Amino acid sequence: MLQQTQVSRVLEPWRRFVNAFPTPKDCAEAPLSSVLQLWAGLGYHRRAKALHEAAKTIRDEFAGEVPSSVAALRSLPGVGEYTANAVASFAFDQKVAVLDTNVGRVLARAIANRTLSSAEARDLATRLLPKSGVASFNQAMLDLGAQHCKAAPACERCPVARVCRWKNEGGDDPAPQSAGVSRRQSTFEGSDRQLRGKVLALLRENDAEFRTVRKRLATSDKSRVDSIVEGLLRDGLIERRATRLRLAQS
Ligand code: SF4
């Protein structure tokens, strides 16, 4: 849920989700449509399908327990390096670095004062890990990037300003092109992402005739709606029964 989404937006859906599905098995045995219902407000709906698939894999291949090793976590659908390392560190206290866009900025600015490649950022993040308290260290790095070392950094109240290389040595900002640092997201308003969300919001209310979906989306570009619906069908997020559409069941 936290991939590309701020904590404040995740809190409420997260509570709904864990109340409905206290264990991976509960999630695995629910239809995908229930998972998509609970995903309301989060966007990037392919993550919901991947999470449902991951829950089924955990039920079938890991006896219902979330695995603790990075390699096993990486085998789950939708789980990449960042998510696997974050779960391994925060849930299982493994000694692995968590490298996201926030940490990427801190590494490039405070530690290296130069643009870092993926391998360099990963290597540097790993070398910085303390002998103990790794989860706290990772959390501190994430918070430093989220609260102070933002895209527009707030150096004046930053707790590491005294030792930050970029602050002290100067030069061009090394963060924007560095590994792990996200590029600015495209505008949401009027995007395909927004239209996909609207189709799914309609189908959360009820199954609907394709022509009703077209009408209610109130866009003059019917072919765009058609291609959005085709994309959702291809992604396995919705199903078509004759002329009707509904949220996918599995
Ligand atoms: S001093 Fe500024 S650039 Fe350096 S880590 Fe803090 S916020 Fe980032």
> Residue 51's domain spans which residues?
7-92
Q: What is the DSSP letter of 69?
A: S
Residue 238 in domain = yes
Letter string b/e over residues 51-85, b meaning 16 or more CB atoms within 10 A of that residue's CB = bbbbbbbbbeebeeebbeebebbeebeebebbbbb
Tell me the CA–centroid distance for residue 79 and ligand 1, in Å.
30
Ligand 1 atom nearest 148 alpha carbon: 7
Tell me the CA–centroid distance for residue 150 and ligand 1, in Å.
8
Q: Return the pLDDT at 189.
A: 79
Q: Considering 47, 75, 92, which residue would you say is the last residue of a domain?
A: 92
The C-alpha atoms of residue 52 and residue 20 are separated, in whole angstroms, by: 13
pLDDT above 80 (res 31): yes
Ligand 1 atom nearest 159 alpha carbon: 6
Complete edge-to-edge strand list for the sheet that includes strand 244-247? 208-209, 244-247, 238-241
**Residue 64 structure tokens:** 């219902």
pTM, entire model: 0.85
Q: What is the DSSP letter of 63?
A: T
Residues 116 and 62 in one domain: no
Residues 20 and 87 in one domain: yes
**What is the mean pLDDT of the segment spanning 62-70?**
97
Tell me, what CATH number does 58's domain have? 1.10.340.30
The number of distinct structural domains making up the chain is: 3
Residue 221 in domain = yes
**CA distance to 84, 161, 231, per residue, from 167 (Å):** 32, 7, 46
Residue to mutate (ligand 1; options 102, 114, 166, 168; most atoms within 8 A of CB):
166
Residue 185 in domain = no
pLDDT per position as a tens digit, 150-195: 999 999 999 999 999 999 999 999 999 887 677 666 677 778 888 9
Extract the runs of DSSP E, i.e. beta strands, from the chain. 208-209, 238-241, 244-247
